[in-house]
Chains A and B, each alone.
Chain A
Amino acid sequence: MKFTLSWLKDHLDTSETLDTITEALTRVGLEVEDVEDKAKALSAFTIAYVVEAKQHPNADRLRVCLVDTGSGEPVQVVCGAPNARTGMKGVFSPPGSYIPGKDITLGKGVIRGVESNGMLVSEAELQLSDDHDGIIDLPEDAPVGMSYAVYAGLDDATIEIAVTPNRADALGIAGVARDLAASGLGKLKTPQVQPVRGSFPCPVDVKLDFAADDRKLCPAFALRLVRGVKNGPSPDWLQARLRAIGLRPINALVDITNFMTFDRNRPLHVFDAAKVKGDLTVRRAKAGEQILALDGKTYTLTDEQVVIADAEGVESLAGIMGGEHSGCDENTVDVLVESALWDPLNIARSGRALGINSDARYRFERGVDPDFCKPGLDLATAMILDLCGGEASEMVFAGEIPESKGAIDFPWSEVKRLTGLELPQVEMKLALTSLGFHVSGAGERVKVAAPSWRGDVEGKADLVEEILRIAGLDRVEPTPLPRIKDEVIKPVLTVLQKRTRAAKRLLASRGLVEAVTWSFISRDAARLFGGGSPKLALANPIAADLSDMRPSLLPGLIRSAQANADRGFGDVALFEVGQVFQSDEPEGQLIAAAGLRRGSARLDGVGRHWDGAAKPVDVFDAKADLMALLSGLGIPVGGLQTVAGGPAWAHPGRSATLQFGPKGVVGAFGEVHPKVLKALDVKGPLVAFEIHLDALPPPKYKPTKVKPKLVLSGFQPVTRDFAFIVDGKVAAGDMQKTAQNADRNLISDVSVFDLYEGPGVEAGKKSIALAVTLQPVEKTLTDAEIEAVGAKIVAEMAKRYGAALRG
């Protein structure tokens, strides 16, 4: 919402400076977005008299002027303008001033051997117009030494404010002035509207043609004919004002409606009566009806929109934009002026459906003052009579002005309760009354009725806001919020929140870089990872590849890895910890942790190195990340099963599912399936893992923080190595467990220290070497005891896996 300072002063009697006014606007909630103050920008430029202009001795096109600036001795200025002449008055720019049109700061200079102490400027140089044919040529009576901006009326600052949706009243300058007056910046002087007496009946009648439950679409409609007008250009002052706020003057009748829109937040419409056939009907449009609107575009309507029609069809889009056919031009003699009330919701929807953003729509969808419907028509009529002459008819009125809401029961203490600010009753009452509220009763509780233009005010909290914003939010003292209990803060994070945080730090400490990728991915990618349910597909995605809620973090990470590779960074290790979606219910949203490694981005190093190049990543890198994550999160992995074969995204032979029993799947790791890589247009090697943090078992409650007692053996551990030849399909992990179980008390560790397939080992078989550590507890082991354990391991391996000791 834009207005000029002088326009504001039509409604506000104030001597405050522009700075004070703009500060106050922001303070009361009408945030100033921009101030354009030409007077400030042009303050250096003053009116000067050219005492003498003579030919430059060394240049045909230049003149040497002696200029009286109104202060001190006349100064010498070299000027190239063809219209520079003795006895003229122009605009002088002293050395040191900034010339906006040239983007230079003027200095003293010598031009072709003649000293020049300033400049006579053109309109173009001041960015006032494109006229650079000559210097500004002022009338004889222009006072020498006066600020040119003041003289030319350019000192009228333009202010632009942001108006919040609840403050429709501030979409009229009168409403802005009311707020400023209430906050003590002057006196409101908006003139009262005098009713216009019509001298003849309005020849055009109005019918509101709505079903009973549709009447809210147009609660009231006022109309009047003014005949015999002369519709030329509007007067200069009106044109100047409209131009200052960015509107194009059209003709007096149209300019008057625009003036009313901004001055009083009262959009109106004018019809050329000669082009209106018969009476006017306000109704829902018929599907398929068309109108050529004033913006030159033809709109096809549905019955969701409301129109004003005459005997021949639609003449205007109600509350949004008039029609071209019955618009007023310089030939208009008889004019119909309309002032109506519309349903804000319908206006908003219609405007949106038609794609029309007009000043009328903007105001009607926020709500105009219903009580100003008729006075608005009178005020516009008076302006027409004043500017265009003519004779006004009586007013035709259909519908009724809605009744105002009841008064609010208001205890003054509410202000202190909600804000902590203690204000004198008299100040609170003054704030309300100066905003147009009516306060009745006395004492601690009063009745407050909101003015008709404040449809947003519903209850006590709204009144507190009114009082607070006029008093000033800065008067509320920051008050320490006491702790609920006077004690050291208890931990506030849930198990899942702690695990989410810890997972990020853990993965980052393994050299993975955290990414935050889109929650929505393409339908195809979602399907590859078990998603793509119609319930999780957006009805209105912002882009085709951001259409479905992600079932997994991996598609986003995999695509990101490729994007990095495309930029020349192929060895990347990324992770994300974030939400994935299994259904559209809250329980269907899980927290996943996923990571991937591409190229040679391994834990212990990346890429080539003098000490040995990093190998390409393989599935065990992903497994290591995942096991480290579980261990770091303190998840007991004793009951965790690693089942060969993963989900569909993984290479079936190089992946596994991690589960606490068949129903307790927590995640998977593996090499990404070549088909998935191809579908996502990604190149490997690429290994990844993903787990659901929600699926992990909760930590066991422990009544004490004491750790289990540490028991150390005084006897040396003994290690024995075994190499077995087994079938290639036997899982080393199973063998490891079997060895461990051979003597659970004695065997403290079993590690796999060698794996061999190849020459020397029969095809289809492999050699697995285990190192078994025995930790005696009570006494040193004898050779016979050690042998016995060894024999048991060998026997178990033979029985379970057909394993033979390697010869």
Chain B
Amino acid sequence: MNEIDTLSDKLLGEIAAAQDEPALEQLRIAALGKSGSVSGLLKTLGAMTPDERKEKGPLINGLRDRVQAALGERKEALGEAALNARLASERVDISLPVREGPEARGRIHPISQVIDEITAIFGDMGFAIAEGPDVETDDLNFTKLNFPVGHPAREMHDTFFFAPDANGERKLLRTHTSPVQIRTMISQEPPIRVVCPGRTYRMDSDQTHTPMFHQVEGLVIEKQAHFGHMKWVLEEFCKAFFEVEGVKMRFRPSFFPFTEPSAEVDIQCSRKGGEIRFGEGEDWLEILGCGMVHPNVLRNCGLDPDVYQGFAWGMGIDRIAMLKYGMPDLRPFFEADIRWLSHYGFRPLDLPTLAGGLTS
């Protein structure tokens, strides 16, 4: 074995055995540094004859290349091992729970959600959203809506009143959203298409009645809008709102002072195991009241009933929320119980749209 091979074996052996980067660096300096063993050999080349150089040159250069490569490989291997050791030491208990973010805790009340759903549907049909005050006059809540004097709804046991003013007139809390109809007809020229969601108040309190509740009123005033159009609008609404392919609806003649003809509307459903489903079944469930706007109401708003006509309807927002989402009792809607709100409420980004579906 010649000198070069001996050195080669020694150096490669030492490199392979180096345990860390400083040791490896020591070996590099000892071999390839200015006065390193391999560098020393390389220096001898200059003093050789051309023939000797021809013979020894490749051997010495080969030795240098092997040592360099071995150093590089070993360095990489040591780096890899060091990283593995660090990673092994950096292990965490990944099962630890993270904090729930605000978007997971926040909720939208079902009433707001349903109002947004109603807005999406009727907005698409070209209806604007009209609003009016909760504190109303007797005139707008009753008289202009063709309620006769002495109608039971005008009595203290049904309606919340304020104290009479100096003229003996007393304001009241609107008992329905219908006064918004009147305000709209008085302030706007037909054609009119509005829905009016809002709070309403009656002296009532049981499982399905609270002294405050929410209604949505719809109104269409044009020159041709008739009962058939109303049926279409309401059927389309119910299909879209309950997110079913089809609904069967029953229009029953009924009575409201402000519409003529009037109807109550039932929707066909099934009730299996306490769960209501629309678009199937044999039961009927009352869902809304509607009718052609009474000629007296049109007259009261300065519209000629022989020229203008239209229809109106009203339904309980809380009620349709209960029907769609299955809350059994109305009272907790207004009790702000965090458990109820978290369960029945909607996530902040559950924004109902027609394109994406009202619910996801």
Residue ranges of A at the interface with B (Cβ–Cβ < 8 Å):
26-29, 31, 164-167, 344-345, 348-349, 352, 417-421, 459-462, 464-465, 468-469, 473-474, 476-481, 483-484, 489, 492-494, 497, 501, 504-520, 534-542, 546, 549, 556-557, 560, 563-564, 567, 569, 572-574, 577-579, 581, 584-586, 588-589, 603-606, 609-611
Contacts and interface: CB of A to CB of B under 8 A. Distances in A.
Given A462-B260, A514-B108, A539-B170, A348 B150 contact: yes
A493 B253 contact: no
Contacts of B252: 26-27, 29, 31, 473
Contacts of B123: 489, 492-493
Contact of B261 (A461, A483, A497): A461
B155 interface: yes
Interface residues of B, number: 91
Contact of B251 (A473, A493, A511): A473
Given A497-B129, A511-B106, A584 B96 contact: no
Interface of B: 96-97, 99-109, 111-112, 116, 119, 123-129, 131-135, 149-150, 152, 155-157, 160-163, 165, 170-171, 173, 191, 193, 199, 201, 203, 205, 211-212, 220, 225-229, 231-233, 235, 250-255, 260-264, 292, 294-295, 305, 309, 333-339, 341-342, 345, 347-349, 351
Contact of A589 (B127, B135, B250): B135
Contact of B227 (A29, A421, A549): A421
A517 B334 contact: yes
Contacts of B348: 505-506, 508-509
B134 A579 contact: yes
Interface centre among B220, B228, B349 (most CB of A within 10 A): B228
- Of all A-B residue pairs in the complex, the 8 with the closest CB atoms, nearest first, are A29-B253, A511-B102, A420-B228, A560-B336, A465-B261, A164-B255, A508-B106, A515-B336
Contacts of B116: 501
A516 B109 contact: yes
A624 B191 CA distance: 45
Nearest to B210: A518
Contact of B212 (A478, A483, A519, A560): A519
25 contacts: A27-B252, A31-B252, A31-B254, A164-B255, A345-B149, A419-B228, A465-B262, A474-B251, A479-B228, A480-B232, A501-B112, A504-B108, A508-B107, A513-B341, A514-B109, A535-B165, A540-B203, A541-B160, A546-B211, A556-B336, A560-B335, A584-B135, A584-B162, A589-B133, A604-B99
Contact of A476 (B132, B228, B264): B228
Given A349-B150, A516-B111, A459 B295 contact: yes
Contact of B112 (A462, A514, A564): A514
Given A27-B253, A461-B260, 13 more contacts: A465-B261, A468-B261, A474-B250, A474-B251, A481-B232, A512-B106, A513-B341, A520-B212, A535-B162, A539-B160, A542-B211, A563-B336, A606-B100
Contacts, number: 254
Contact of A514 (B134, B201, B345): B345
Contacts of B292: 418-419, 461, 464
A634 B351 CA distance: 19
B201 A420 contact: no
Contacts of B201: 519
B199 A469 contact: no
Nearest to B310: A418
Contact of B96 (A348, A585, A610): A610
A420 B349 contact: no
A573 B107 CA distance: 10
A166 B148 CA distance: 11
A474 B228 CA distance: 10
Contacts of B124: 489
A536 B253 contact: no
A481 B254 contact: no
Contacts of B336: 515-517, 556-557, 560, 563-564, 574
Contacts of B149: 345
A611 B155 CA distance: 61
A17 to B, nearest CB: 18
A468 B227 contact: yes
A514 B338 CA distance: 9
Contact of A481 (B119, B152, B225): B225
